[in-house]
């Protein structure tokens, strides 16, 4: 495959000497906690839109921050728009994110893509060489998991990603998991079972458009 802790404020109310009552301080503390909860409840998700419907993806920033950042930057720049899911394997996964898939020449599918910024791998002055350093973690490859495709080199992730259509324990600890589909699992099922050729390219193009959106937990 070519591929938040809550903030706790300890308020010493008994030591307040600024003239405010304990009741006023308690109200202020309650308002602060409420604002913190509201802030923490807003998370940024990705919406991957296809002809079969939308997949909503939440990110694992805490275990794969560089992968998440790169994916988000590519999304904001429209990098993924017009690309397709160029590889589908029933009972396994669907793969996409290759800019070469915007073309109709299938022979180049699975060979393109790079990181959205320079992370120390590749030649800094040549964006086409930028790769992502591995951020392997303990999250298992299960149905709906979003992971980064790579070559045999662990530090070769670029823009191509795959979404598991089923559990794939043999990939655990070998590929960087950086998100999961929380809505739209049926879309994965529809895409992965499309008729395909000998290279696992779907016979029909499944184009995607990706955007970011703020949602409440």
pLDDT in tens, 80-133: 999 999 999 999 999 999 999 999 999 999 999 999 999 999 999 999 999 999
Question: Assign residue 144 a region: left if phi > 0, alpha if psi is -120 to 50, beta otherwise?
Answer: left
Whichever domain contains 160, its CATH number is 2.40.100.10
pLDDT tens digits for 166-192?
Answer: 999 999 999 999 999 999 999 999 999
What's 34's DSSP letter? H
Which long-range contacts does 121-127 make (Cβ < 8 Å, 24+ apart)? 121/155
28 lies in some domain = no
11 falls within a domain: no
Cα dihedral: 119, 79, 159, 197 (round 10):
-170
Q: How is the beta sheet containing 145-148 ordered, strand by strand?
A: 85-89, 93-96, 161-164, 145-148, 177-183, 53-59, 42-50, 209-216
Q: What is the mean pLDDT of the chain?
A: 87
Q: Number of folded domains in the chain?
A: 1
202 in a domain, yes or no?
Answer: yes
CA 18 to CA 28: how far, in whole Å? 14
The larger pLDDT score, comparing residue 15 to residue 53, is at 53
Token pair of 60, please?
A: 């694992």
% of the chain at pLDDT higher than 70: 81
Judge whether 32 lies within some domain.
no
Instruction: With respect to residue 9, please indicate whether it lies within any of the assigned structural domains.
Output: no
Per the structure, the complete domain to which residue 180 belongs is given by 44-216
Contact 191, 52 (CB under 8 A): yes
Q: Three-state DSSP class for 85?
A: strand
22 in a structural domain: no
In a domain, 102, yes or no: yes
- Residue 33: inside a domain: no
How large is the average pLDDT for residues 149-170?
98
How crowded is residue 112: how many other Cβ atoms within 10 Å of its Cβ?
19
Predicted pLDDT at 41:
65
């Amino acid at each position: 495959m070519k591929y938040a802790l809550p903030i706790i404020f300890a308020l010493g109310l008994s030591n307040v000497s600024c003239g405010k009552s304990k009741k006023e301080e308690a109200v202020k503390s309650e308002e602060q906690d409420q604002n913190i909860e509201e802030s923490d409840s807003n998370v940024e998700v990705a919406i991957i839109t296809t002809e079969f419907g939308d997949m909503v993806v939440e990110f694992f920033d805490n275990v794969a921050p560089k992968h998440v950042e790169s994916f988000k930057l590519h999304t904001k720049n429209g990098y993924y728009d017009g690309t397709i899911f160029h590889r589908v394997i029933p009972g396994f996964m669907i793969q996409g994110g290759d800019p070469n898939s915007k073309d109709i020449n299938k022979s180049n599918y699975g060979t393109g893509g790079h990181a959205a910024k320079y992370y120390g791998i590749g030649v800094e002055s040549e964006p086409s060489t930028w790769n992502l350093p591995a951020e392997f973690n303990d999250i298992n490859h299960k149905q709906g998991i979003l992971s980064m495709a790579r070559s045999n080199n662990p530090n070769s992730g670029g823009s191509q990603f795959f979404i598991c259509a089923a559990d794939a324990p043999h990939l655990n600890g070998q590929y960087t998991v950086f998100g999961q589909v929380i809505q739209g699992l049926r879309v994965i099922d529809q895409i992965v079972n499309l008729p395909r050729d000998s290279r696992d390219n779907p016979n029909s193009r499944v184009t995607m458009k990706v955007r970011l959106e703020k949602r409440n937990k």
